[in-house]
Chains A and B, each alone.
Chain A
Amino acid sequence: MDKYDVCIIGGGITGCGIARDLALRGLNIILLEKGDLSVGTTGRSHGLIHSGARYAVTDLESAKQCAEENEILRKIAGSFIEPTGGLFVLFKGDNYDYVDKFVDGCKKAGIPFEELSGEEIIKIEPNLSKDVELGFKVRDAVVDPFLLTIANAYSARLEGARIETYAKVVDIKDEDIFYIQNGKKKKVKAEVIINATGVWCNEVAKLRGFEIELKTYKGSILVYSGRAVKHVVNHLRAPSQGDIILPHKKTTLVGTTFLEEKNLEKFKIYRHEVELLKKEGERKVPLIGKMKLIRAYAGLRPIVGKEKERGFTLIKKENFITVTGGKFCTYRLMAEKASDLVVKILGVKTCCRTAEEPIIPDDDRGFREEIKRYYKKYGDLAKKIIPYSGYRGKVCICENVSSGEIIFAVKELFAKNIRDIRRRTRIGMGYCQGRRCTLEAAITLYSNGFDAKEVQKQIINGLRERWRGIIPVFEESIKEAKLIEAVYSCAGNYNHIKKYIPGLVKFL
């Protein structure tokens, strides 16, 4: 009988953070995620580890939490974080009154900051618009949200947790949780159930017989090719749309919008959002106007309670705990509070270790030359690539991904298809958006146990997912779109595949 102390439903940063925390406390855990890890709101985050300064004026409690967690994450997950630093900048024509409120708030919240003149700022961030008047340097940082989530799951599994992806929960009765995986209905038992499903938390709560009042707000982000800024650049004003520009690997992100969105599965990015973000980006960093816009994506923020409230909530109903709200960068704290509640219910006397223990334990004596090049990309997880580092064949030219990384993603990092592999290794996230590497990645999968029919489905679904990101910025990306269409239609004839293999993929 599959019986666990805790069943966590939801494999985003919160669910995986809780899995790690509870596993470190010695509990027997199972995590069920309906898709791949971090495909919900987590994967749509821009990965900003806030200094807290953004909330210094409007939400002091959140600001404090962000500031504290920022330092903790740098300690436990330093290898995954790019310590870019952040700038809050005031341009000519902006509201000068905000500056005093900002300084006041930062002091109250204990957020370290350094005031800089316009000239000093241009020196350290030369691509800013030259009419910057003053600014503040803070401890913003950037992380890859996929990677941090997976690192938490990896750590949880090392401590004995069971992580199941593509496992959708369909019914809950007291301690019984029913889910469907690979078309089969399965059941597990758990004393405590955690609902960490983000925007779906109401859907899952209903399975248990109650409702949660939830509002969802869409945030859209533009992705440009190349790094236009060195720091996270924030507009020094009351939080608005298009405030933030940040460097992320080889790209620049401009975000975000904030629009209520009721459709959880099929939401579009509107042209007016793209125009707004383009304008905001170019206003702060004029170079952005000359850069290549490669795609746009959007995520939904789950907000329980007052609109725009950024604190998190724990809702307990007997053995069923819903954890919702909050921010990506305070996940560890949310996980700690949720885990404290769990051990209280179970009557177990253990305490949280996640603020001290590094996410990937340091079991090697330094790292070898051959994995040095993976360190920047995978942080401490790079140590685990060693058995696969012999497979050097390059699969993705744009992002420099070797076939060893792809095999590593499949064998160790819970990847089950090309989209999962993409989230871990970044294939197809560069200039060509999957055109060059999809077939090669598929062939690597085939060489590692996937059958040909499954691999064909993956080629098609992998490209469909990339295509979705191109559509909102189509006018700017017609060349790349045509290249993808030409290669897979003219050479691959995938557009007529329905004729000789009906049912392979729905509605192609």
Chain B
Amino acid sequence: MSRSVLVIGAGISGLISAIRARKLGNDVTVAFSGKGATSLSLGVVDVLGYVDRRAVRDPLKGIEELIKKKPRHVYSLVGVDNIKKSINFFKELTKEVELEYVGDLRKNIYIATQFGTIKPTCLALKEVYDARVDTWDGKKVSISGSIVRDYHPKFISDSLSFFLPKFGIDVRFVDENYADIVLRPLSQKKEESCVIPLLGDGEILRKKLFKYAQKIGVEFIKDTIKKGKIKGNEVKEVYGRKSYEADVYILASGDWIGGGLNAFKEPIFNLDMIKSNGKLVRKIPFPESGHKYSKIGVKVNESLNPFINGNEIVNLKVAGSIIGNYDYCTEKSGFGVCISTAYLAASL
């Protein structure tokens, strides 16, 4: 049965849910404000990198362990099955837009970053995936490319030289001509991504998904949704400059970065929040076990409906970083949560 769907937000969560809902035959409109956090991200898909400060080798196993320990974690609500389906959906979709992401839910890889550090991730563009640090052991590697403001190849290789041995990887950094593996930026213009993903590469993915969604008939309107009208346990309409009505609403407006959260509230509907008590923020900016404030977000049930004063709102779904009870910075679960919740929210 075809229904009208209004998605609020055009970051990765909004776009995935819009495309999924459209492919199921619904009439989909997306109201969006800006580009959100997606446009600043590396564009790789983190599913689960760490649980309780320990590195995760097998994300699926890690999620199963997480679900047992934290039954209210967003991955527990979504469930392993939906995570698998949504990641397959994402892989197929990126193939269609000619920006194919590869990777295996059973294996985390480590990639080099422009900061000269290494980070775990699960899916990435083929070129990025093939250049992963896990393949470097015993090899001669060259990090090449010209120096720009936030990319310095020799700084990266020098930093990695003292990080990698502690990680058990024996690598020598050499000149391009003598290397087994060359990490050459595909292009340093922002239109093509780099083999070492740069901040902002997420914008390339976002633009491709945006265009694709338009191509398959999703309507996009630039309008910042300010308020929603609720009657009983349903959303009646939402409005920004104009007012919008739909059968189903999907809220994918992001956390504080995208503007979906304002201090400790959700400003459009004033949805029930997961709160945090005690010391919300710690003295150092990136502590290993995270900050308490990161868990603040909208409370949802297993179908991703939110609540107002304990009442479930039946025609509203929530997707992405606006959801509470998880910490993407510490867990390295960013796009994993976005994609799986967006897929589920749209699978009406």
Contacts and interface: CB of A to CB of B under 8 A. Distances in A.
Nearest to A480: B256
B114 A490 contact: no
Nearest to A456: B159
Contacts of B158: 446, 451-452
If over half of B's interface residues share one DSSP class (helix, strand or loop), that class is named, otherwise mixed; here it is loop
A210 interface: no
B255 interface: yes
B155 A481 contact: no
A8 to B, nearest CB: 33
Interface string A465-504: 0111001001100110111111111111111111111100
Nearest to A266: B283
A440 interface: yes
B186 interface: no
Nearest to B291: A485
Interface string A447-468: 1000111011001000110111
Given A443-B155, A474-B281, A491 B115 contact: yes
Contacts of A455: 155, 159
A507 interface: yes
Given A443-B149, A498-B288, 16 more contacts: A439-B150, A440-B150, A446-B152, A446-B154, A452-B159, A452-B161, A459-B115, A464-B283, A485-B294, A490-B41, A490-B119, A490-B328, A490-B332, A496-B53, A497-B117, A500-B164
B150 A489 contact: no
Contacts of A393: 149
A395 interface: yes
A74 B65 CA distance: 68
Contacts of A186: none
Contact of A482 (B147, B257, B334): B257
A482 B291 CA distance: 10
A495 B287 contact: yes
A212 interface: no
B55 interface: yes
A317 to B, nearest CB: 39
A337 interface: no
A489 B116 contact: no
A142 B296 CA distance: 41
Given A453-B162, A474-B281, A497-B117, A489 B256 contact: no
A346 interface: no
Interface in B278-292: 280-281, 283-288, 290-291
A464 B159 CA distance: 20
| Most central of B41, B261, B329 by chain A CB within 10 Å | B329
Contact of B285 (A442, A484, A498, A501): A484
A484 B293 CA distance: 14
A25 interface: no
A492 B155 contact: no
Contact of B263 (A466, A478, A485, A507): A478
B199 to A, nearest CB: 6
A489 B283 contact: no
Given A443-B152, A488-B285, A475 B162 contact: no
Contacts of B264: 475
B46 interface: yes
B149 A468 contact: no
A262 B46 CA distance: 46
B89 to A, nearest CB: 23
B330 interface: yes
A508 B287 contact: yes
A394 interface: yes
Given A489-B286, A489-B329, A508-B286, A500 B118 contact: yes
Given A447-B152, A486-B257, A492 B284 contact: no
A503 to B, nearest CB: 10
B94 interface: no
If over half of A's interface residues share one DSSP class (helix, strand or loop), that class is named, otherwise mixed; here it is helix
B267 to A, nearest CB: 13
B256 A482 contact: yes
B241 interface: no
A478 B293 contact: yes
B153 to A, nearest CB: 11
Nearest to A477: B256
A471 B118 contact: no
A402 to B, nearest CB: 11
Contact of B162 (A394, A440, A501): A501
B231 interface: no
B278 to A, nearest CB: 14
Place the interface of chain A in its size category. 35 or more
Contacts of B330: 489, 495
Interface in A362-401: 393-395
Given A471-B281, A492-B117, A487 B40 contact: yes
A483 B329 CA distance: 10
Interface string B94-136: 0000000000000000000111111110000000000000000
21 contacts: A446-B152, A447-B147, A447-B152, A452-B155, A452-B158, A463-B285, A474-B293, A479-B256, A481-B285, A485-B286, A486-B328, A488-B286, A489-B329, A490-B46, A491-B115, A493-B120, A494-B115, A494-B286, A495-B329, A497-B117, A499-B55
A471 B155 contact: no
A63 to B, nearest CB: 41
Nearest to A482: B256
B42 interface: yes
Contact of A467 (B40, B46, B154, B284): B284
Given A463-B285, A464-B285, A500-B166, A494 B150 contact: no
B163 interface: yes
B294 to A, nearest CB: 8
A484 B287 CA distance: 12
A466 B113 CA distance: 23
Nearest to A489: B329
A456 B117 CA distance: 9
Contacts of A459: 115
B50 interface: yes
Given A452-B155, A490-B334, A495-B286, A474 B255 contact: no
A464 B167 CA distance: 25
B286 A501 contact: no
Interface string A187-223: 0000000000000000000000000000000000000
A221 B293 CA distance: 25
Interface in B177-219: 199
A490 B42 contact: yes
B274 interface: no
B174 interface: no
B128 to A, nearest CB: 13
B263 A491 contact: no
Interface in B32-64: 37, 40-42, 46, 49-50, 53, 55
| Most central of B37, B152, B154 by chain A CB within 10 Å | B152
| Most central of B40, B154, B286 by chain A CB within 10 Å | B286
A485 B117 CA distance: 16
Contacts of A498: 288
Nearest to B50: A496
B263 to A, nearest CB: 6
Nearest to B255: A482
A98 B309 CA distance: 53
Contacts of B162: 452-453, 501
A474 B296 CA distance: 14
A312 B162 CA distance: 51
Contacts of B263: 475, 478
Given A453-B162, A494-B286, A486 B329 contact: yes
A478 B163 contact: no
B305 to A, nearest CB: 25
